Amino acid sequence: MKILVKIISITVLMTMVACSKSGENKAHDDHGKDTEAHDSDHAHEKEDDHAHEEKDEHDHGHGKEEEGHAHEEGSKAVGVAKAIEVVDEKKGFKLNAAAENLMHLKFMEITQLPVKVNKEALVIAKSEIGVYRARQSFYKFIALKKDGKGDYSLSKGEFEVGDKLVTAGLDLLRISDVFSQDKSDYGHSH
């Protein structure tokens, strides 16, 4: 338990140092100093929201795309210079190279289908059991069902020859998946 507390403390400390060095929190540090400017900022946001409602012909990049619906700013954990760069409803989520290296991900390339899944590649997520598929730098959780023999196997449909099955680093990959789907706004509440 003490080790877990130390790990969490170090993680929080590193996050705070990274934020202070990048200057991301400067505007928030001055939050209470100029309430008039702050209120006018929010008034501007309200005007922008109203303007967006009236201008349906203006595309904000939220339209449907051929391969799926990509999001870069739906979650505070997603975006440029963050561990999760892009989230796509059909493809999954894309990690930046540094995050992939830190996770020590290992893969098994799918060379034929169907293929039996090794137990180390299985992930329990809520009430589902599945695997993480890697395709064109995107990771996606795919729920599986047992076959007639009681094993989990990959078949055509969600999997193609050339896809990769993530076999190690699954704990951090699962956490990244949860963060990629998080739409909560944790800051700036009044």
Residue 100, pLDDT above cutoff 60: yes
Q: What tens digit of pLDDT does each residue of 24-83 get?
A: 444 444 444 444 444 444 444 444 444 444 444 444 444 444 445 554 445 567 888 899
How far, in Å, CA of 103 to CA of 110, rounded? 21
Does residue 188 form part of some domain? no
Q: Could you tell me if residue 89 is inside a domain? A: yes
Residue 38 counted as domain residue: no
Residue 124: inside a domain: yes
What is the 8-class DSSP label of residue 33? T
Average pLDDT over residues 102-117: 95
- Does residue 63 lie within any of the structural domains? no
Structural domain including 156 reads: 70-181
Please report whether residue 25 resides in a domain. no
The DSSP letter of residue 120 is G
Q: Residue 164 falls within a domain, yes or no?
A: yes
Q: Residue 155 pLDDT more than 50?
A: yes
pLDDT digits (tens, 9 = 90+) for 161-170: 999 999 999 9
Kindly state whether residue 105 falls inside one of the protein's structural domains.
yes
pLDDT per position as a tens digit, 7-19: 554 454 345 434 4
Q: What are the structure tokens assigned to 183, written together?
A: 């739409």
Q: In total, how many domains does the chain have?
A: 1
Interstrand relation of 164-168 and 106-109 (parallel, antiparallel or unpaired)? antiparallel
DSSP H or E segment with residue 26:
helix 26-29
What are the structure tokens assigned to 131, written together? 């695997």
- Long-range pairs for 33-42: beta carbons < 8 A, 24 or more residues apart: none
Contacts of 156 (CB under 8 A, 6+ apart): 113, 114
Are 85 and 78 in contact by the 8 Å Cβ rule? The answer is: yes
